[in-house]
Amino acid sequence: MSGERDNAHSATDIEVQAADWLQREHFWDWSAGDQTALESWLAESSAHRVAYLRMKSGFARTERLVALRTPEKGEGRPLWPGFLGLAASVAAIAVLSVAGALYLSRGSASSEARYTTPIGGHELVRLADGSQIELNTDTALRLSMEDGRRIARLERGEAYFQITHDEAHPFVVETAGHRVTDLGTQFSVRDEPGRMEVILVEGRARIDSASAQDQKESAVLVPGDLAVATIDSMAIRKETARDIANALGWRHDLLIFHDTTLADAAASLNRYNRNKLVIEGPAAARLTINGTFGTHDVEFFARMAQSLFRLHASNNGTTITISR
């Protein structure tokens, strides 16, 4: 990005300059030459432009102070009409919710949509009912409406669900063999071969084994619960708020490692990147690290492992091998 760092002037210096332009423009004689000078100052850098826009828009809002005007003092020139227009536009703050409007109009009997992310992908799907689903790397999700139930089939990968609860239209997440039914919730579901993990963040949800009718297992999850379900078992344990935040770091494109072995950290990064990390030898694999990495920071991770533990790293373009 051009002009990413403009250290020649601090933000405060630029703020002072922007305030200076503004007061000159509004309180003193303003010539065409001044206008040209202002425009060339603005064109010098985006830092100048954003500082000026900020100052000008904020100054427009101080228009409110005119309410304090005392009538007995001598009247000066009238206030500039431009201020009011800007103030109005600032008040209209409503965040654009350009809903990537989806399907699931509640009346329609059958509608279906499929969403996928590639390795390293991260997408937000907004549903017409206000629910949101965040898809993590290498994920496939199929949405449909069946018998009044909102069904999300997680074919692979991981997703974070923020569901608008609707008693009449339950929201159900299915993976191979398991089912999570929303009871008004935020939760994540991760599908791995032979295993499903559910982290409940807010509200409640019910988890069922969808297939094994005979010995059907079922449990209600409350916030902080991590449920791990396999073909023949289901276990639930309490996680700390910190562990949950760490486990959901991917929502911010982050991986958070806390006393994590290099082997496990590499496996995590490998979910997000085509350039795969290989940790060679048990001695290197057992080293542990703490820290936060971007999901795409393979090279940075390798450099860090190199300098921190004095390991060797070689990168052939598809694989980075780390060894003693």
Partner 1 sequence: MAEAPSTDRDDTPAHSTAAGMTASAAEEWFVREVLPLEAALMQFLQHNWRNKSDIADLRQEVYVQVYDAALKQIPDRAKPFVFKTARNLLINRVRQLQIIPIEAAVDVTALDTAVDVPGPEQTAVVRDELRRLQTALDHLPPRCREAVVLGRIQGLSGREVAARMGISEQAVSVYLINGIRALVNEVYGASSDRKVTS
User: Residues 282 to 301: which contact partner 1 by CB under 8 A?
Assistant: 289-294, 300
Contacts to partner 1 from residues 148-177, by CB under 8 A:
none
Contacts to partner 1 from residues 214-243, by CB under 8 A:
241-242
**Closest C-alpha to 144, from 199, 103, 92, 197:** 103
Cβ closest to partner 1, residue 148 vs residue 291 = 291
Neighbouring residues of 248: CB distance < 8 A, sequence distance ≥ 6 = 160, 188, 199, 201
For residues 125 and 209, give the distance between their C-alpha atoms in angstroms, rounded to a whole number.
26
Q: Binding to partner 1 by residue 30, rule CB under 8 A?
A: no
CB of 42 to partner 1, least distance (A): 9
Q: Binding to partner 1 by residue 73, rule CB under 8 A?
A: yes
Q: Binding to partner 1 by residue 31, rule CB under 8 A?
A: no
Q: Binding to partner 1 by residue 1, rule CB under 8 A?
A: yes
Contacts to partner 1 from residues 48-67, by CB under 8 A:
49-51, 53-55, 57-59, 61-62, 64-67
Residue 302 near residue 319, CB atoms below 8 Å = no
Segment contacting partner 1 by CB under 8 A, of 73-81, 175-183, 226-234, 280-288? 73-81
Residue 115 near residue 132, CB atoms below 8 Å = no
Please select the residue that binds partner 1; options are 69, 108, 109, 168, rule is CB under 8 A.
Answer: 69
CB of 94 to partner 1, least distance (A): 8
Burial group, residue 150, by CB count within 10 angstroms (0-12, 13-18, 19+)? buried
Neighbouring residues of 287: CB distance < 8 A, sequence distance ≥ 6 = 261, 262, 305, 309
Q: Binding to partner 1 by residue 3, rule CB under 8 A?
A: yes
Q: Binding to partner 1 by residue 304, rule CB under 8 A?
A: yes
Contacts to partner 1 from residues 91-110, by CB under 8 A:
91-93, 95-98, 100
CB of 212 to partner 1, least distance (A): 35
Residue 161 near residue 136, CB atoms below 8 Å = no
Q: Binding to partner 1 by residue 32, rule CB under 8 A?
A: no
CB of 190 to partner 1, least distance (A): 18
